[in-house]
Structure 1
Amino acid sequence: MKESWKIETQAIQGGYSPEATQPRILPIIQSTTFKYDSAEHVAKLFDLDAADHMYSRISNPTTAGFEGKIALMEGGVAALATSAGQAASTLAILNICRSGQHVVAASTLYGGTYSLFANTLPKMGIEVTFIDPNASAEQIKAAFRAETRALFAETIGNPGLNILDFEKFAAVAKAKQVPLIIDNTFATPFLCRPLEHGANIVVHSATKYIDGHATSVGGVIVDGGNFDWSNGRFPELTEPDPSYHGLRYVEKFGPLAYIVKARVQLMRDLGTCPAPMNSFLFNLGLETLPLRMERHSENALKLARFLAQHPKVSWVNYPGLENHPSYQLAKRYLPKGCSGVLTFGIKGGVESGAKFMENCRLVALVVHVGDARSCTLHPASTTHRQLTEQQQSASGVTPDLIRISVGIEHIDDIIADVDQALLNS
């Protein structure tokens, strides 16, 4: 029944179904461990023959409620919450890649993800080739190797704000027999559901729009349950796991194989679990996600149109504008709105950009996006500063670029603040 609910209803009622006399609201189960009546029950937990909670590093009732809701909203079979969005991206890759293997990724990624792929994964022996998401399917295929195990991209590039051509990327992934992993942080499942467009795995930084109020750091992986892991390229999921007495994940768990392995193997060993309190806040954030994303998108479009006419602005980048290169893709994949982040070029470059951010009064200078409150940042000197100029350019970052995460305040107040800050810069 819940699968047929509209996403607005899923956001409120999904993931947790209280019985009579139980709390109506998903409770915070702030406990590391759980009590059992028999040694046999515990043995079944450790053999993965029972699905109950055994330890909060691996699963927790509050976290399970959040996981169930986000999986429902994305249209997946199950989800795994993590301690950060970076942990979600890392585990999503490590779950199917080992030393000597390879990933193909769009170059227009969040700076932290780009650094993870360019610097940290190679230290583990996993190489990543970055490709222009606007490249042809044949050009993208040319980046693949025999040892390639995944294709990774973002629904809305951060901070380039390019919209992914899902049809092209899904076709490439299918032809190469690897999963398409999509970071859906900026779009959220309310604006776009990647699994409906050919993706196999979805990751989020729950820190952003899912939380929505800048209170908690976390992430989540959603498994679409729609990839054939038995195609001969993923022995991790089909061959015996010696840490579970030779268990074979695909054989035992079918469409849940990927997400179960991520939980009981990687989360068990790496311990990147969220605190129950954070899971509670993420679940609470999901309840208002549809309402907030409508307002974020509406406000961002109005601010983008204002900036496009401003004398102190040289260019504006927002997928909802008719002249944006991704406008047609946005109409196709994000018909309800293009989220709340926009970028623009300020005349005067870096110096004027610094003055603009310092002159804002309502729009705060913070290292964050996806908050109910409007905020701004200069990516070249902050989130992407570890990248070379060439890497920044490939990510869509230029020296004059200002990013604004448009909040849900009244648009007149946002525009007035941005206007005075520009005029005084």
Structure 2
Amino acid sequence: MFRIRLTFIITLFIICQNILAQDQFYINNNSDKYVLSFKMVNNLMVIPVEVNGKKLSFLLDTGVSNTVILNIKVVDSLKLKNIEKIKIQGLGVGEFVDAIKSTNNNIIVGKNITNKNHKIYLILEGGINLSNRIGEEIHGIIGGDLFKDFIIKINYSTKQITFYKPNTYHYKSCKKCELLPLSFIAEKPYVNVVANFSDTISVNSKLLLDTGGSDALWLFENKEAKISVPQLFFDDYLGQGLNGNIYGKRSRIKSLQIGKFELKNITASFPDTLSLSQSMRHFSRRGTIGSETLKRFYLIIDYPNKKITFKKNSKFFDEEFNYNMSGIEVAYNGQMLVSEKVIKDFQTSSGNKVSNAERGITIDYEYGYVLSLKPSIQVTDIRKNSPAELAGVQEGDYLLEVNGKPIYSYSIQDLMSLFYEKEGREIELIVDRNGYRFSFNFKLKKIL
């Protein structure tokens, strides 16, 4: 099955004083480990999390140190405790946004990991709607608060996360593994790698380990560190931060070296400096390793002992690093009323109703139509000079049909899969623009 790659990066900067408390997760069935299945959406891990008795879906994200609720629609049912208003700021061009800090909350991850005194941040407005972009209901993000209490093994092939108690876990000898140290800045994990821009330019880089970013690699331009955008690139929408869109340049570098493992011809994104001004001022990092890279390994992430183990995942390791060749970004936005043709009844040629078709009998079907509401999918961003833009597609268009099929038969993941497929694939769109229907045709085209 083809796996799509949407660019989402979420890095949260909490502007408040840390509170010392017994905010700790533990396995509550006296076992030394707990295995949790996750849903893999756009390379991201979605896990079940219960907050004060309310069942929700969260992203598991090493790129954030705190637990964050993004969907304010569920607030009334969460029974948040000890509420305090604060201001926060994240990646993306924008001002500080209002948020709430709440302590002493009861959290259950899966069925057997519990924290009865957990601190949560709630974005009130100006935040990010992951559900509309990803096409999957996402209520929040959980990261460092959970990772700090366990040794965590991630298997992207089986879609399973195994949580181990640090004091009972024993490392096995593994000649095919690479064990690297983790360093921490503002409670976020960093790993040292080598970015090979060419045969003559290699840069030792400290990169944020970010399971919540589905891109392969982000690098921050830095002349002193010899990090610069390769000659072949294009300007692109890179993702959505906490308080705004993130734009930059998309390119490729020769390879990324993680210990003894080399990932060749990897896509690399270079975010605009304006989008990253806060990040660069607070952290001495060169960029980010996202899940498009991380999924190519079996990972053992060990916050307590400050180390990480990489082992090649043969299912994903040799996959080509791809990108959106259409130039279209989409999201759910509202609903549309559709009329669907359905079978109401059927009879034999003699007028007798039957429950199944019998050999030699003619079946006459009686059709009807059912009106129903389906999610609308809108073009939210379009890359300049991309195949879609050159064909005439515009930001704000609502998709009605794609390659002859009604838009409601596609998920956002299905659409992005189409846009990442092989060069030369023909795409036919029918869109609604201010009440008028337009048809556009184009072919996917590689630039890099």
TM range (shorter): under 0.3
Determine which structure has more spread, i.e. the larger CA radius of gyration. Answer: 2
Hey, which of these two has a bigger chunk of helix by percent?
Answer: 1
* Structure 1 length-normalised TM: 0.24
* Structure 2 length-normalised TM: 0.24
